[in-house]
Amino acid sequence: MSDPEKDSAVAVLSEKKLLDLARKRLERFASLLPKTLIGDHPDNVHDLRVWSRRLQQVFKVLLPEHPSGKCRKLIRVPRKVRRALGDCRNLDVCIDLIQKNIAATNSEVVRNAWRQIQSDLRERREAELEECREELRRHDIIDFVTRAQACLKSIDLRKAFAQTLKNSVEEARTRWHETLAEAHENPTTDQIHALRIAGKRLRYRAELLADLGHAPAKSLVKSLKVLQNELGYWNDSQVLLRFMAKSIGHADFLLGHPDYARALITEMEKERQRNDSATVDILKSAEKVREWRFPEEAPEQQPA
């Protein structure tokens, strides 16, 4: 038989560990925001977006029904910061992909065509980063940290947050399964993108469970990371295709560089074909993730 006092002590220990994880994620998020305001390195933009997701997920577990409206508003700040940086991040990945394409081609015309688009994107990135900073400056990071710490201190450790987290992972996993089924049935760009977003939510919730020592969740996170890397490259390629289409469709570009336009149309077709092939591989990789389940779950019965 289980010992109620021991079970209670273990539960409180798990809740305290979850609070420690929340504080660490808060610290990481708060340290990256000033770096983005001052420096222009793409890694700062990427890392701030990643840690905003991680912080948002732990807040959703710890503050889902908190009586204070101010505490619930904390969840909105990481989301607003992440969305503000979205376009800048898209430009960063496209500039990087173009550089790889420049290095991979032997055609001087193709290299010059890529360089023309890359130059345009770098100018846009500079302006976009400044717009992002204007949005970030609206958030008082000291006030945000102070309010976050106050809310974390007020949390009742008697609540079963570890179980809440596990339920949250299961909810995200169910939604991910539904999204995967929709992607198999109709593998459009929108459906693959929806699978990517559902996977992010599942991954960042499962990371919390893994950090609490849940060994099976670690295997889920590992599988999701591989899949998300594939989906990330697929998404970056989709973004690049859209930027290319806008550049080629611009009247000044067509009139001034018709040879570049012809070369880039050919490159676009190559990129599109790679994406179509990647979609097939992504769905195959997703099947490996779909097989994961909590240890206490019985294997699914195969139809006769």
| pLDDT digit string, tens, across residues 213-270 | 888 888 889 999 999 999 999 999 999 999 988 888 888 888 888 898 999 999 999 9
HSE on the CB side for 283, CA within 13 Å?
A: 18
Structural domain harbouring 123: 1-156
Q: Which residue has the higher pLDDT, 80 or 166?
A: 80
298 in a structural domain:
no
| Number of other residues whose CB lies within 10 A of the CB of residue 174 | 12
- Reference 57, options 16, 85, 25; nearest CA is 25
Q: Do both 90 and 208 map to the same domain?
A: no
Q: What is the CATH number of the domain that holds 231?
A: 1.20.120
Number of independent structural domains in the chain: 2
Q: Which residue has the higher pLDDT, 102 or 289?
A: 102
pTM exceeding the 0.85 threshold for the entire prediction = no
List Cα–Cα distances, 289 to 60, 196, 220, 221, 286, in angstroms.
24, 13, 7, 9, 5
CA–CA separation, 24 vs 185, rounded Å? Answer: 40
Q: Do both 110 and 212 map to the same domain?
A: no
